[in-house]
């Protein structure tokens, strides 16, 4: 695998043992840790990969920017080009805490770009014949996470918590009514050099690395991220990721279909 490889699209069905027949309850794309530089051809391919899936939602779990001014222009262009039937939602990561304006200003910026930033708050939407609650927790590492505010409100048919650092999943209990936590932060290790890469993982990983983990209350998914940090940034044996989910409710299990894209 090349050091500066392109991204892979991962397809995840929930529940994992569901037979993927017919139309799902809803479909979404999960992106994390974009660490956007100036606009590059791979960003055009990212937009194509997202839009060809015709998602109901796009979820962004933080660290979207860098400290460079062109990062904001790339984020604006990316959000303007992405299409999602029921909206694009984001939470803050540690880079937004370090280099972005305060939440009120950042919310207005996202709204102007056609997306919604959730900081310790939730929204309930109705894609198709059911309801989905989208909750955004402030960054568990450097922010001011408030679980009570983020999880407030009655549960929906399906309940998703956006939290940049996967450590947040360790504080969820069955009574909270969360079905899925979406996180990033780990970069999947980014450069998996034998014997060394685990030492490079950031704090607040909560014992998670990448992929889907079953929990007592549901699942947590840790995205390897689309961008990276450091020189290059180098990725080794850990490709960048676009995650595409199809969610079916327990009573809607059917047979014989394949995921799109």
Whether pLDDT at 1 is above 50 = no
Residue 17's pLDDT band (cuts 50, 70, 90): confident
**What integer is the mean pLDDT of 13-29?**
82
Does residue 255 lie in a domain region?
Answer: no
Question: What is the pLDDT, as a whole number, of residue 189?
Answer: 67
| Least confidently predicted of 3-7, 75-79, 83-87 | 3-7
Q: How confident is the model at residue 22 (pLDDT cuts 50, 70, 90)?
A: low
Determine phi and psi for 240, rounding to 5 degrees: -60, 160
**Is 259 a domain residue?**
no
Query: pLDDT band for position 196 (50/70/90)?
Result: low
If one compares 119 and 187, the residue with the highest pLDDT of the two is 119
- What's the mean pLDDT when you consider all of the chain? 87
Please indicate, yes or no, if residue 156 is contained in any of the structural domains.
Answer: yes
φ, ψ (nearest 5 deg) of residue 108: -65, -40
Residue 257 included in any domain = no
Report pLDDT digits (tens) over 127-167: 877 999 999 999 988 899 999 999 999 999 999 999 999 99
Q: Are strands 26-31 and 240-247 parallel, antiparallel or unpaired?
A: antiparallel
Burial code (b: 16+ CB inside 10 Å, e: under 16) for 11-22 equals ebbbeeebebee
pLDDT band at residue 23 using 50, 70 and 90 as cut-offs: confident
In-domain check, residue 219: yes
Identify the domain containing residue 49 by its residue range.
Answer: 7-250
108 falls within a domain = yes
C-alpha 102: how far from its chain's center? Answer: 21
Q: Which residues contact 159 (CB under 8 A, 6 or more apart)?
A: 132, 133, 135, 177, 178, 179, 180
With 70 as the cut, is the pLDDT of residue 185 above it? yes
The residue among 170, 121, 110, 165 whose CA lies nearest residue 143 is 165
* Proportion of the chain above pLDDT 70, given as a percent: 86
Q: What is the pLDDT of residue 14?
A: 94
Predicted confidence band of residue 115 (pLDDT cuts 50, 70, 90): very high
List the structure tokens of 247.
Answer: 């969610």
- Is pLDDT above 60 for 256? no
Give Cβ neighbours of residue 229 (< 8 Å, ≥ 6 apart).
35, 187, 190
Q: Has residue 261 been placed in a domain?
A: no
Asked whether residue 258 is domain-assigned, the answer is: no
- pLDDT at position 4 is 40
**Looking at the predicted structure, is the pLDDT value of residue 188 above 80?**
no
Kindly state the average pLDDT of the residues 208-221.
95
**How does residue 95 score in pLDDT terms, banded at 50, 70 and 90?**
confident
What is the number of structural domains in the chain?
Answer: 1
């Amino acid at each position: 695998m090349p050091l500066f490889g392109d991204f892979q699209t991962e397809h995840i069905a929930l529940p994992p043992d569901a037979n993927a027949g017919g139309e799902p309850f809803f479909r979404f794309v999960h992106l994390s840790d974009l660490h956007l530089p100036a606009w590059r051809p791979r960003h055009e391919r990212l937009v194509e990969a997202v839009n060809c899936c015709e998602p109901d939602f796009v979820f962004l779990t933080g660290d979207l920017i860098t400290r460079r001014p062109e990062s904001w222009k790339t984020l604006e262009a990316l959000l303007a080009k992405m299409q999602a039937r029921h909206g694009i939602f984001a939470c803050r990561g540690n880079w937004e805490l370090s280099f972005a304006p305060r939440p009120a200003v950042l919310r207005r910026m996202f709204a102007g770009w056609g997306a919604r930033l959730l900081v310790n708050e939730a929204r309930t939407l109705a894609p198709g014949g059911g309801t989905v609650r989208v909750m955004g927790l402030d960054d568990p590492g450097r922010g001011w996470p408030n679980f009570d505010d983020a999880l407030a409100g009655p549960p929906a048919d399906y309940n998703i918590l956006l939290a940049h650092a996967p450590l947040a999943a360790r504080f969820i209990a069955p009574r909270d009514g969360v079905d899925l936590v979406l996180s990033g932060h780990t970069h999947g290790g980014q450069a998996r050099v034998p014997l060394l890469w685990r030492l490079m993982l950031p704090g607040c990983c909560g014992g998670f690395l990448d992929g889907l983990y079953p929990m007592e209350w549901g699942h947590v998914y840790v995205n390897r991220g689309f961008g990276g940090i450091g020189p290059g940034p180098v990725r080794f044996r850990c490709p960048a990721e676009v995650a595409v989910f199809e969610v079916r409710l327990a009573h809607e299990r059917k047979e014989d279909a394949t995921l799109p894209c």
